Structure 1
């Protein structure tokens, strides 16, 4: 990937995932991407490949955001707390 395209994409990813909504979605993507779960499914190579693909996509997003898995999980927990507080206030 050309450096200019990479920088433009990185800025776009950061804008998309900024704020509480972005953090909430990022947390969901990390959860659905099996970042805290086993990817290998014994006896089921197709499910293993599918889960590995989900994980790779989540890791790609975190890479563009220059964020570790732990950072993403912390951000997602904070966004979930904020969302619950906002929902309770409605």
Structure 2
């Protein structure tokens, strides 16, 4: 946010130097604002419920994984306690045998 403000301010306040520099600074401010807006829109959509039913997480690193609402029924090679110790889970996370 500060970088966007700095670029926009520099672009509008710049009186000396070539005019193309003002356009570059203004363009950088617009691009940074667009990236920030895109990240705000994509962020929540990127968080989806993991369906790991029947998976073998021996090959997966779960440390710090966001498994809130994930379906972990039938997962082999790791226990519920091991998952809870290293990953983020909640009451909607499903553990147990595959039915």
Q: TM-score range by the shorter chain?
A: 0.3 to 0.5
**Given the two structures, how large is their TM-score scaled by the length of structure 1?**
0.33
**Given the two structures, how large is their TM-score scaled by the length of structure 2?**
0.31
Q: Which has the higher contact order (CA 8 A, sep 6+)?
A: 1
Q: Which has the larger radius of gyration?
A: 2
